[in-house]
């Protein structure tokens, strides 16, 4: 095929060149010959007669021949109006007039073959439904070698297949529209952004011009950037996971599971966290939170908050007091980052969750019949904002029910109100049964959370199982109101002895339990105020003895001197029990408790 002949007949080029000349006011007719009085200049040459003594007929400067009046140097009014309408500038007599613009070169005047050959981009021209090769430029030959003209591209240009261009060229032929693909990689390692344009080739019909720009450097730079971002993300994910509990504590009365899933590769890791903290006397703290930031910094702030929560939990404070302490600490850690958090405490003797929320989403509780309840206010502002007094609320958690604590990544979607997401989670929870980990997985799937999710997600599922049969025999409670002053001590010892015997403990554990009861009751009678109460609780793993009274002064262990008549009670309890502790109770007063671990099996 004569490519020079094809390039000189690109469709429409002559019509467009003529149109450009007409638009510029350039006549396409041949110039008329010079006439007398024109000073030897052809009309349309763009010059004016030279000044001389004789003036040309019709020259305004020669005056009006009919009237003999001298010329004024101004054109008649109607000519001035026409000049203005034509956009003339009103050059004075004798002033040089601007030359008209020369004809712009038409496209067929350009040496198209030479232009395409010198382009740094790769250019190939194929024609017909089999995409036979009509032309490849020098850059294409340098990159992939010479290509025989007339052969099918599928046979002679494997690089087009590597770049996935054959289907693209078919689309271009069918639709008559150009198509572009970005950063396709060839087997040789180069990356190209390719545009395929439809063309008409005289004598060959429809064809496609393939224009491939080498973007290898850009692609490699982008890949290095992506690799760096992946390493940073992996670092953040590793840090995040290392700061989360490696193994959840499992209280005697609850079954707990949790799941953390980082966002997809395009989403920076956030600061979601959860925790389960055993407080003693059968009580358990449940925590979930979300640092409102991304990356390593958010994960680091999360780790500091989680550590602080565990430290404050050891003080056995009410939930709102723990959040109050966290609020001040969050502002000190990083004033530019805030966090939401829910801190809840489960007490098996009370049968409900006492909680406080700092700007976090509500706890959901599913009853045994599938009814889902949402924890109501109080909810305070996020941690780190300061100036707010948090308060505690409560929601029932009877046997057979489950509670779900979660972060916003589970329910928040772009373009959707977050209440709709919470309502969707409620519907999913209503039908979610099975072990806690099974419920976790079902909730995540129901909300459409995948590996490519745009935010990280943390879910904590807490079940308070209903126990029947042999399992129920391992859990018992007994309580006695301590009335009557000093005579309450022997009555408490007798009550404890009878209860521990009925629970079939070993003689050694029976005696240790009675001794611990005696010391706790004596301490309460001496330092506390009514009302006083003794509570014994047995689980499958421990014996718990607890005494409450109306005085809020917490006891502490101290060294008693040999001549001291008192002060040994707490030391004795600390020596014989597995653990002990004290806390203030709601409404004033305190509780002092100790635990004995039961032998395994």
Residue boundaries of the structural domains of the chain? 112-214, 243-464, 470-597
- Cα(284)–Cα(219) distance, integer angstroms: 53
Residue bearing the bigger pLDDT, 491 or 52: 491
- Please tell me the pTM assigned to this model: 0.66
pLDDT score, position 137:
93
Identify which of 338, 378, 336 has the alpha carbon closest to the alpha carbon of residue 326: 338
User: Is the confidence at residue 333, as pLDDT, over 80?
Assistant: yes
* Contact predicate 595/578, CB 8 Å: yes
* Contact predicate 383/358, CB 8 Å: yes
User: Is the confidence at residue 43, as pLDDT, over 80?
Assistant: no
Phi-psi region of 46 (alpha: psi -120 to 50; beta: other; left: phi over 0): left
Question: How far does Cα 269 stand from its chain's mean position?
Answer: 8
Here the tokens at position 1 are: 């095929």
In this predicted structure, which of 189-193, 324-328, 419-423, 558-562 has the lowest mean pLDDT?
558-562
Angle between helix axes 216-243 and 295-313 (nearest 10 degrees) is: 0
* Contact predicate 296/235, CB 8 Å: yes
The class of domain 243-464 in CATH terms is: alpha beta
pLDDT band at 601 (very low <50, low <70, confident <90, very high): low
Question: How far does Cα 339 stand from its chain's mean position?
Answer: 16
pLDDT tens digits, one per residue of 166-209:
999 999 999 999 999 998 888 888 899 999 999 998 888 899 99
pLDDT band at 496 (very low <50, low <70, confident <90, very high): very high
**342 φ, ψ to 5°?**
-120, 130
Here the tokens at position 142 are: 């340098």
Q: Which of 180-194, 409-423, 428-442 has the highest mean pLDDT?
A: 428-442
Distances (CA, A) of 265 to 221, 225, 230: 18, 13, 7
pLDDT tens digits, one per residue of 216-248:
999 899 889 888 877 877 777 787 778 888 889
Helical H segments across 8-89, by residue range: 13-23, 77-86
Q: What is the layout of strands, in order, in the sheet containing 122-127?
A: 132-136, 122-127, 205-214, 191-201, 179-185
pLDDT score, position 77:
52
Instruction: For 158-170, give the DSSP string.
Output: HHHHHTT-HHHHH
Question: Which DSSP state fits 110?
Answer: S
pLDDT score, position 66:
45
Q: Which CATH homologous superfamily contains domain 112-214?
A: PAS domain (3.30.450.20)
pLDDT tens digits, one per residue of 22-35:
444 444 444 444 44
Beta pairing class for 379-380 and 352-358? parallel
**Of all residues in the chain, what percent carry a pLDDT higher than 90?**
53
pLDDT score, position 277:
96
pLDDT band at 4 (very low <50, low <70, confident <90, very high): very low
- Cα(92)–Cα(72) distance, integer angstroms: 12
CATH of domain 470-597: 3.30.565.10
Mean pLDDT within 304-325: 93
pLDDT score, position 231:
82
């Amino acid at each position: 095929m004569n490519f020079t002949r094809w390039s000189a007949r690109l469709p429409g080029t002559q019509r467009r060149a003529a149109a450009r000349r007409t638009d510029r006011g350039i006549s396409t007719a041949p110039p008329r010959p010079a006439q007398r009085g024109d000073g030897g200049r052809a009309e349309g040459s763009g010059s004016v007669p030279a000044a001389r003594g004789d003036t040309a007929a019709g020259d305004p400067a020669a005056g009006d021949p009919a009237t003999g009046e001298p010329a004024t140097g101004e054109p008649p009014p109607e000519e001035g109006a026409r000049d203005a309408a034509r956009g003339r500038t009103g050059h004075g007599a004798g002033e040089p007039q601007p030359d008209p613009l020369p004809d712009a070169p038409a496209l067929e005047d350009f040496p198209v073959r030479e232009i395409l050959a010198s382009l740094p981009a790769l250019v190939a021209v194929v024609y017909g439904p089999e995409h036979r090769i009509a032309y490849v430029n020098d850059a294409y030959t340098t990159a992939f070698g010479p290509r025989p003209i007339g052969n099918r591209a599928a046979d002679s240009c494997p690089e087009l297949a590597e770049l996935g261009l054959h289907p693209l060229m078919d689309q271009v032929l069918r639709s008559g529209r150009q198509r572009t693909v970005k950063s396709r990689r060839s087997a040789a390692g180069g990356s190209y952004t390719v545009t395929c344009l439809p063309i008409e080739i005289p004598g060959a019909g429809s064809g496609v011009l393939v224009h491939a720009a080498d973007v290898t450097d850009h692609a490699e730079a982008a890949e290095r950037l992506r690799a760096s971002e992946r390493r940073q993300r992996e670092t953040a994910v590793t840090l995040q996971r290392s700061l989360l509990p490696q193994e959840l504590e499992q209280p005697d009365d609850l079954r707990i599971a949790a799941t953390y899933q980082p966002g997809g590769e395009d989403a920076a890791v956030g600061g979601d966290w959860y925790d389960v903290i055993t407080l003693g006397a059968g009580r358990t703290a449940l925590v979930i939170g979300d640092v409102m930031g991304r990356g390593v910094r958010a994960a680091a702030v999360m780790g500091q908050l989680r550590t602080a929560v565990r430290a404050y939990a050891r003080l056995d404070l009410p939930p709102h007091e723990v959040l109050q302490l966290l609020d001040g600490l969050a502002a000190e850690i990083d004033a530019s980052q805030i966090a939401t958090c829910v801190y809840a405490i489960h007490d098996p003797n009370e049968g409900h969750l006492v909680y406080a929320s700092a700007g976090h989403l509500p706890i959901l509780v599913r009853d045994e019949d599938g009814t889902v309840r949402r924890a109501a206010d109080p909810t305070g502002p996020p941690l780190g904002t300061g100036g707010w007094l948090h308060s505690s609320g409560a929601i029932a958690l009877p046997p057979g029910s489950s509670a779900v604590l979660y972060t916003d990544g589970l329910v928040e979607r772009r373009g959707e109100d977050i209440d709709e997401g919470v309502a969707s989670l409620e519907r999913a929870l209503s039908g979610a049964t099975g072990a806690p980990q099974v419920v976790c997985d079902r909730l995540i799937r129901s909300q459409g959370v995948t590996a490519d999710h745009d935010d990280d997600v943390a879910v904590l599922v807490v079940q308070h199982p209903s126990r029947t049969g042999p399992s129920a025999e391992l859990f018992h409670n007994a309580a006695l109101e301590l009335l009557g002053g000093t005579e309450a001590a022997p009555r408490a010892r007798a009550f404890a002895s009878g209860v521990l015997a009925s629970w079939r403990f070993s003689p050694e554990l029976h005696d240790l339990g009675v001794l611990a009861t005696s010391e706790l009751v004596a301490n309460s009678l001496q330092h506390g105020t009514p009302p006083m109460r003794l509570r014994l609780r047995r689980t499958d793993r421990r014996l718990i003895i607890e005494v409450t009274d109306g005085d809020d002064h917490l006891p502490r262990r101290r060294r008693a001197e040999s001549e001291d008549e008192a002060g040994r009670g707490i030391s004795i309890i600390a020596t014989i029990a597995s653990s002990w502790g004290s806390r203030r109770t709601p409404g004033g007063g305190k509780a002092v408790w100790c635990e004995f671990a039961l032998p395994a099996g």
